[in-house]
Amino acid sequence: LYNKNGRYSVRSGYHTARYLWNELKQNGEGSNPRFGSEIWARIWKFRLPNKIKVFIWRACHNILPTLNRLRQRRIIENALCPICMQALETIIHALWECGAARDVWAGYPQRALQKGLTAQVSVLQLVEVLMQRLPEDALEVFLVQSWLLWHRRNRVVHGGLL
């Protein structure tokens, strides 16, 4: 936004940013703002290596370096999943929707993974649903397996293995 004389200034940008920040605080971010903090409090208490907890946190915050994110940053041109070559490689695709990931989850002993969890928007949404459906030990296995899937995917993408 511009100031009174029609020019943009750092001051007018600062006031716009403050206004938008106050609007966000008033509107809130979701219907249950405490739910996110409960998720992380529970995950941090799991008996898992910290690298897996941090991986899940990064996956849920959509900050893992997928091919789609690299394309958005104009680092690469092709963002198709190198494993299935059928969809853009997003985090949810790599960990849940890709055929290779579906094969892993099909062999999972908990039937909650196969029922009603086909269309997930994000890893955070998937983890929220699984936290409600799975016992703690099964959820821990899911998180470890997700980490293993990601690292296998990295070997395929960066190491040329299939």
Q: What per-residue confidence (pLDDT) applies to 35?
A: 45
pLDDT in the model for residue 119: 67
CA torsion 71→76→77→82, rounded to 10°?
-90
Backbone dihedral region for residue 28 (phi beyond 0: left; psi -120 to 50: alpha; all else: beta): left
Q: What is the pLDDT of residue 145?
A: 93
The answer to whether 162 and 153 have CB atoms below 8 angstroms apart is: no
Phi, then psi, of 150 in degrees rounded to 5: -60, -45
Interval 86-137: pLDDT, tens: 999 999 999 998 888 888 888 877 665 655 566 667 899 889 888 888 889 9
Q: Which of the pair, 120 or 11, is modelled with greater confidence?
A: 11
Sign of the torsion formed by the C-alpha atoms of 160, 85, 66 and 74: positive
Q: Which residues of 131-140 are buried (b: 16+ CB within 10 A; e: fewer)?
A: bebbeeebbb
Q: Give the whole-angstrom CA distance, residue 71 versus residue 77.
A: 6
Place of tokens 């996110």: 36
Note the pLDDT of residue 32: 45
List, as one string, the DSSP characters of 93-128. Answer: IIIIISHHHHHHHHT-S-GGGTSS-S--S-HHHHHH
Q: What is the pTM of this model?
A: 0.71
